[in-house]
Structure 1
Amino acid sequence: MSEMTEAPKIEFPCADYPIKVVGNNENNFYGFVVETVQIHAPDLDLTKVSIQDSRNGRFQSVRLKITATGEAQLKRLFEDLKASGRVHMVL
């Protein structure tokens, strides 16, 4: 019988916390993601933001790194992104 190990806990504040947001490649998805993230992480460094379109161009992923200050901040950020209806996935 194998032992289950817990995932490592994140220590806050956590600099360069990676987030990937996937949604339809339309209506300035990148701008929407950046504006939403800046509400929760106003010190977002735009040089740490990258965009990748899917093979057929239908979807877009926005990858960024923020300074995560706590679980509550991350929860609110993820909820705001998902509540928009524009985001398919937040990783």
Structure 2
Amino acid sequence: MSEQQPPKIEFPCEDYPIKVLGDAGDELRELVIDVMERHAPGFDQTQIRVKDSRNGTYQSLTVRITATGERQLKTIHEELIASSITKMVL
């Protein structure tokens, strides 16, 4: 049996979604904006989608950026997950 390979992303990739799950509050949003502005400057902050968990303890934020390469995506992931308020990055 051949192993199925994940689809290859062609860069630059416009409208690339990144979802961040973490503790609810302004701190999570500020972290996400800060990291995205550093690594995907000019992303559209008005398109950030926020969804609260059932009890309001957690939030998911979905942002869309123009992904320029695997290194950019890896760096974004590493910086976001390094924060204690971040639980998961997809």
Structures share fold, TM-score greater than 0.5: yes
Equivalence for 1:31: 30
Percent identity between the two aligned chains = 48
Query: Equivalent residue of 1:76, what SS?
Result: helix
Equivalence for 1:64: 63
* Residue identity matched to 2:31: F
Report the aligned-residue RMSD: 1.2
Q: Gapped runs of 5+ residues in structure 1?
A: none
* Residue identity matched to 1:73: Q
Query: Equivalent residue of 2:84, what SS?
Result: coil
Q: Gapped runs of 5+ residues in structure 2?
A: none
- Counting only pairs closer than 5 Å after superposition, residues 43-82 of structure 1 correspond to structure 2 as 43-82=42-81
* Residue identity matched to 2:8: K
Query: Equivalent residue of 1:28, what SS?
Result: helix
Residue 9 of structure 2 corresponds to residue 14 of structure 1: no
Q: Which runs of 4+ in 1 moved over 3 A?
A: none
TM-score when normalising by structure 1: 0.91
Query: Equivalent residue of 2:19, what SS?
Result: strand
TM-score when normalising by structure 2: 0.91
